[in-house]
Chain A
Amino acid sequence: MVDVSQHELVPEHTVLEEDVLEEVLSEYDIDRTDLPKIKRNDSALPDEAAVGDVVKIVRNSRTTDQAVVYRLVVE
């Protein structure tokens, strides 16, 4: 099986700890369902991610150094 995370198009995905998530949500004043979504069967998703988790994605941005985005894991 190919290791998807090694591909240059795939940024780093990590599952976010619950307390860090709270901080993020309160900083932006949003609910977790307001976040963009990622499917649970997404190839780039870490194995330990479950539905309802939030993954942190660190993109190598075209316009700034690094862009951090969050996606909610959905069914």
Chain B
Amino acid sequence: MTEVAYDVDDDTVAVVEDTDLPRRLKDQVYATLEERGDATVDDADELAKAVEARYLDTRVDPLDPVGTVSAQSIGEPGTQLTMNTFHYAGVAEIDVTQGLPRLIELVDARKTPDTPMMTIYLEDEYATEREKAHEVVWKIEATKILALGDVSTNVADMRVQISLNEDTLQERMITPEEVAEIIQDNLGVKAIQQGTQIEFGPEEPSYRDLLQLVEELREITFKGIEDISRVVIRREELDDGSEEFILYTEGSAFGDALEIEGVDASRSTCNNIHEIHRNLGIEAAREAIIEETNNTLAEQGLDDVNVRHLMLVADMMTNRGEIESIGRHGISGSKDSVLARAAFEVTVNHLLNAAIHGEVDELDGVTENVIVGKPIKLGTGDVDLRMGSTTSGSGRAD
């Protein structure tokens, strides 16, 4: 007997479980029955049967052109998306590309998004204590020299002088010795460190070299991950009422971030589908594409686009084990049929190349057959009907 979390009797459960419905719908049936309270087993049976009939009825028929339906179902609401790129997304004052530019970026499978970001969840005490959470922040956020102290150039002696701020050093857990060493390694000059003072200069007195050194000094990442320019901590309430700290980063380096102690590597994500693919595999990338496209639409109030359409897009994009874009350089460009490719974009190039290489078109797909004027293999076009030859009695029209 299946256990259900609803207050309904065993016979009702038996009746509902007997149907061909997915769990989600069965649960909704139970919820409805529970609400009614006075429903008999016969009522339950009738309800379950009706839901099942409706469910089977609304499933996609074989040979339905689901791709075309998806294209239209995403395309129409797409006309209502904002074309305005920069807007603060709801969380944590971090600039995130939204609307149409983001959607295009996703289906084009761009190598890096316009505004890369990560959402980092923390483990155990890191998630509950602000101090601990900050520790993780300093390991992630790139620390440049200007955050650690003041830099001045002494033109008379041809020296660069850094006066480090002791409190900042302590907070970010880095010692003056480490700072001096990093400078030596990166700039290739001898750095003299005394307390919180660091001094160095070019080997040969040269004004240009001196300025060059200062330029380079500003670029060095002393702590954290280079690509991450800013981290915002937010305290967020969980469903069960408790609170936890979540980090939002500007810039992303997903692989590096997952390795950091305190980072919850089971929930943290980023908005770069390629980074997800690299670190978590193709299935996670598929999941991320659905999630990102769905959220992009939902943020614009278009959450009534059925998720199945987005799932189909994601399935196509990840079908070959790597992320392919929708379009000339991806899926449409890798079709087998010459005519289908030529019909999409850059017609002449495709036809010319096909002629040079002596390509053969099998005329299997839809586009090719439309071009040559044959019935397409979709819907009723793929079904052969034969009239029955033996009828008995009066001539019925079927």
Residues of A within 8 A of B (CB): 1-4, 6-11, 13, 36-39, 42-45, 57, 59, 62-65, 71, 74
Alpha-carbon gap, A9 to B266, bound state (A): 8
Interface string of B20-34 (1 = CB under 8 A from A): 001110000000000
- How many residue-residue contacts, CB under 8 A, span A and B? 81
B312-369 interface (Cβ within 8 A of A): 315, 318-322
**Smallest CB separation, A66 vs chain B (Å):** 9
The one of A2, A39, A59, A62 that contacts B321, using a Cβ cutoff of 8 Å: A39
11 pairs, CB–CB < 8 Å, chain A vs chain B: A2-B259, A7-B280, A8-B266, A9-B284, A9-B287, A9-B288, A36-B320, A39-B282, A43-B281, A57-B283, A59-B287
Q: What residues on A are CB-neighbors of B318 within 8 Å? A: 36
Distance A74 CA – B319 CA, assembled complex (angstroms): 12
Given A9-B288, A13-B283, A42-B281, decide whether A37 and B319 contact each other with a Cβ distance below 8 A.
yes
A74 near B281 with CB under 8 A, answer no
Contact residues of B with A, CB < 8 Å?
Answer: 22-24, 258-259, 265-267, 269, 276, 278-284, 287-288, 290, 307-308, 311, 315, 318-322
Complex CA distance for A37 and B322, rounded to whole angstroms? 8
Chain A contact residues: over half helix, strand or loop, or mixed?
loop
Given A2-B259, A62-B290, A64-B22, A74-B279 contact (CB < 8 Å):
no
On whether A37 and B320 interact (CB within 8 A), knowing A2-B259, A7-B265, the answer reads: yes
Task: From known contacts A3-B265, A64-B24, infer whether A43 and B321 are also in contact, taking CB-CB under 8 Å.
Answer: no
Q: Which residue in A3, A11, A43, A62 is a CB contact (below 8 Å) of B307?
A: A62
CB neighbours (8 Å) of A13 from chain B are: 281, 283
Residues of B within 8 A of A11 (CB): 283, 287
* Contact of B284 with A63 in the complex, beta carbons under 8 Å: no
CA–CA, A57 to B288, complex, Å? 16
Closest A residue, CB atoms, query B320? A37
**Is B265 a contact partner of A10 (Cβ separation < 8 A)?**
no
